[in-house]
């Protein structure tokens, strides 16, 4: 990834050339900015029938390239990323014409040394179930192309062996695909826990949208509270899917992090709980630094002037208290980032990311992380007054991360 490597190198020279100055003014800084216009559409049937908000009304001319809710380095494509689109327009009932895809995106980050801040949409992977692995009815029974009424996909991990696991919120389920988007096995249900916090093989965690529920009132997890984030061990053998909401019976604001064996396609155990700063908060994404440390986006439900809390924390699996809660430490306040070069062109030297949903984080190197929003097309207006674009930023962290050599920008 020559472009990103160049960005990181220039930033290190610029900010580390004077060690004394760096120490005295240590602060998270914006070192790259790119934006994909909200009104960007890909080939495919019209989507968004019945959708109307903020001056946009469906059906739209193709598939909106929006709702990014997970990011990984694109396999075999230097400088590009795979961004996972979520279920479409926010619910099971209004997203039956939104096709579930992974978009290959190439940002040309604006930096202090160049770049124009544009984003190219190069290709996409269409998720499908041609072999009939899904045991319940889906919208497209003939073509078997998966839609936002079938699953609400929010997180993904590439195994490094031509496969990927995607976390869903409707089940919540774990979904196994090959890199062409073909579903390889039946959705894996999420086990509940017994009184000893061990996996209970006879009870599942279920959201109100779970297709096996006859009555949504029987759900033990809130709607749209499934696997919003999913990290992985650097050996890519174990994934760590994290629920966005609290399961009935768990402490308020406690979010389960499971260990999931990807080769076996089976849940292994509960790793512990992530404790939200406020029970009304939610997590946005989850990514590794090394085998024991991970980054988590935590945010409130505000946008624009009402956005008060958008932060990235480091958690440590090696530090878990007797209640099962994992130690956390603030790394970035996304509402207060230094921007001495005004990379987003708003005339300010302090940058904020005031979006209602910020659902993508990826470690680039030991001092740089990528963050991107889910723009909820056409609903979110965090920048205002018009609808939000898909913004992608590079943030240089105040202090270096202890990066595993298998994590970050591929060689």
Does position 271 have pLDDT exceeding 60, yes or no?
yes
Question: Which among 252, 73, 247, 244 has a CA at the least distance from the CA of 167?
Answer: 244
Does position 8 have pLDDT exceeding 80, yes or no?
no
Question: Higher model confidence: residue 411 or residue 215?
Answer: 215
Task: Give the whole-angstrom CA distance, residue 121 versus residue 59.
Answer: 21
Q: What is the mean pLDDT of the chain?
A: 94
Task: Give the whole-angstrom CA distance, residue 166 versus residue 184.
Answer: 12
CA distances from 296 to 195, 276, 396 (A): 27, 11, 16
CA distances from 236 to 81, 202, 258, 291 (A): 18, 28, 15, 10
Say if residues 400 and 331 touch (Cβ distance below 8 Å). no
Say if residues 25 and 53 touch (Cβ distance below 8 Å). no
Count CA atoms within 13 Å of residue 306 on its CB side. Answer: 10
Say if residues 127 and 184 touch (Cβ distance below 8 Å). no
Structure tokens at 323: 């209640």
Mean pLDDT within 311-340: 97
Task: Give the whole-angstrom CA distance, residue 102 versus residue 127.
Answer: 8
With cut-offs at 50, 70 and 90, classify the pLDDT of residue 26: low
User: Length of the chain in residues, anyone?
Assistant: 411
User: pTM of this prediction?
Assistant: 0.94
Task: Give the whole-angstrom CA distance, residue 375 versus residue 386.
Answer: 12
Task: Give the whole-angstrom CA distance, residue 118 versus residue 84.
Answer: 19
pLDDT at res. 2: 41
Say if residues 396 and 13 touch (Cβ distance below 8 Å). no
Displacement of CA 112 from its chain's centroid (Å) = 27
Does position 238 have pLDDT exceeding 90, yes or no?
yes
Structure tokens at 148: 């936002």
Give tens-digit pLDDT for 86-129. Answer: 999 999 999 999 999 999 999 999 999 999 999 999 999 999 99
Does position 3 have pLDDT exceeding 90, yes or no?
no
Question: Which among 361, 393, 390 has a CA at the least distance from the CA of 375?
Answer: 390
pLDDT at res. 27: 85
pLDDT at res. 19: 35
Q: How many C-beta atoms lie closer than 10 Å to residue 222's C-beta?
A: 16
Q: How many C-beta atoms lie closer than 10 Å to residue 18's C-beta?
A: 11
Helix boundaries (H) for 2-139? 2-16, 19-24
Rg of the chain (C-alpha set): 20
Q: How many C-beta atoms lie closer than 10 Å to residue 162's C-beta?
A: 10
With cut-offs at 50, 70 and 90, classify the pLDDT of residue 261: very high
Helix (H, G, I), strand (E, B), or coil: what is residue 367? coil
CA distances from 281 to 117, 345, 360 (A): 31, 30, 16
pLDDT at res. 4: 58
Q: Quick one: fold of 2-396?
A: Tachylectin-2; Chain A (2.115.10)
Does position 46 have pLDDT exceeding 80, yes or no?
yes
**Where exactly are the structural domains of the chain?**
2-396
């Amino acid at each position: 990834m020559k472009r990103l490597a160049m960005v990181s190198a220039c930033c290190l020279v610029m900010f580390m050339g004077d060690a004394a100055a760096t120490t005295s003014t240590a602060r998270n800084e914006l070192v790259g900015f790119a934006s994909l216009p909200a009104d960007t559409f890909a080939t495919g049937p019209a989507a968004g029938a019945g959708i109307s908000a903020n001056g946009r009304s469906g059906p739209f001319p193709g598939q909106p390239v929006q709702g990014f809710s997970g990011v990984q380095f694109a396999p075999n494509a230097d400088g590009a990323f795979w961004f996972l689109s979520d279920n479409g327009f926010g619910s099971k009932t209004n997203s039956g014409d939104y096709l579930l895809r992974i978009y290959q995106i190439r940002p040309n980050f604006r930096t202090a040394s160049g770049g124009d801040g544009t984003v190219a949409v190069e290709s996409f992977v269409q998720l499908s179930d041609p072999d009939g692995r899904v045991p319940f009815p889906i919208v497209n029974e003939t073509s078997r192309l998966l839609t936002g009424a079938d699953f609400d996909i929010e997180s993904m991990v590439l195994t490094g062996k031509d496969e990927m696991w995607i976390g869903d919120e409707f089940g919540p389920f774990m979904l196994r695909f090959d890199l062409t988007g073909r579903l390889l096995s039946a959705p894996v249900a999420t086990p509940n826990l017994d009184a000893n916090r061990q996996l209970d093989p006879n009870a599942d965690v279920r959201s109100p949208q779970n297709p096996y529920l006859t009555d949504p009132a029987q759900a033990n997890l809130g709607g749209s509270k499934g696997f919003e984030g999913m990290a992985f061990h650097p050996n890519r053998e174990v994934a760590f899917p994290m629920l966005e909401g609290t399961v009935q019976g768990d402490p308020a604001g406690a979010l389960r992090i499971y260990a999931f064996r990807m080769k076996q396609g089976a849940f292994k155990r509960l790793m512990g709980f992530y404790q939200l700063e406020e029970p009304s908060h939610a997590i946005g994404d989850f990514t590794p630094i090394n085998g024991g440390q991970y980054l988590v986006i935590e945010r409130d439900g505000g946008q624009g002037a009402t956005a008060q809390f958008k932060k990235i924390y480091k958690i440590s699996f090696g530090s878990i208290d007797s209640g099962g809660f994992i130690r956390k430490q603030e790394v970035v306040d996304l509402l207060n980032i230094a921007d001495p070069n005004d990379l987003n062109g708003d005339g300010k030297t302090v940058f904020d990311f005031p979006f209602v949903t910020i659902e993508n984080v990826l470690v680039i190197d030991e001092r740089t992380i990528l963050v991107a929003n889910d723009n909820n097309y056409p609903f979110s207006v965090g920048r205002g007054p018009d609808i939000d674009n898909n913004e992608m930023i590079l943030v240089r962290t105040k202090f270096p991360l202890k990066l595993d050599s298998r994590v970050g920008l591929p060689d």
